[in-house]
Amino acid sequence: MKTSSFKKGFSIVEIIIAAAIIGVSVVGIVAAIQVYLKIVYQNTRETQAVLLLDETAEALQYMRDDSFANNYGSINYIDTYTIFWNGSGYQLSTSTIELPYQMTRTVVFAEVKRNDDDQISPIGTTDDRTLNATVKIMWPYKGENKDITAQTLIHDLYEN
């Protein structure tokens, strides 16, 4: 019977090459996971900001429905407002209120003008029953402030 001088198994070179391939793969996977987590964090904050923006628009409508005259009658067009729940309803304030995750929400009101055809126009007669509300949500991200902004019209539908 012939015997071979070669032994079965892996050589040290094969083991080193396999370890290098596995190491590079693991480093690549870890780097991909880190990028993924950063994207998820950023998207989570943006989603929360969009939900706050939507909540603010709904709160402005709630205040309109509750009493346009009481909630918007003393609005100053040069002030920046924030909106908060006071336990029984939404309320405007000129104080800064920080929300979770260091988010802030601001509302700025502007007058609405209508032309002779009762269409919204940059010039014309001021519509005392309609306000232009610009809502802005801001949050910190990587040392900078990110924000989203939306505008909505608040009209005294119920003449209250």
User: Is residue 5 one of the residues assigned to a domain?
Assistant: no
pLDDT digits (tens, 9 = 90+) for 55-110: 999 999 999 999 999 999 999 999 999 999 999 999 999 998 888 889 999 999 99
User: Is residue 1 one of the residues assigned to a domain?
Assistant: no
Q: Indicate the number of domains in the chain.
A: 1
User: Is residue 7 one of the residues assigned to a domain?
Assistant: no
Helix and strand numbers (H, E) in the chain are: 1, 6
Identify whether the C-beta of residue 114 lies closer than 8 Å to the C-beta of residue 101. Answer: no
User: Is residue 119 one of the residues assigned to a domain?
Assistant: yes
User: Is residue 6 one of the residues assigned to a domain?
Assistant: no
Note down the domain range covering 28: 12-155
How many Å apart are CA 100 and CA 46, to the nearest integer? 13
User: Is residue 105 one of the residues assigned to a domain?
Assistant: yes
User: Is residue 30 one of the residues assigned to a domain?
Assistant: yes
pTM equals 0.78
User: Is residue 22 one of the residues assigned to a domain?
Assistant: yes
Which residues, in sequence order, are CB contacts of 152 under 8 Å at separation 6+? 57, 60, 132, 133, 135
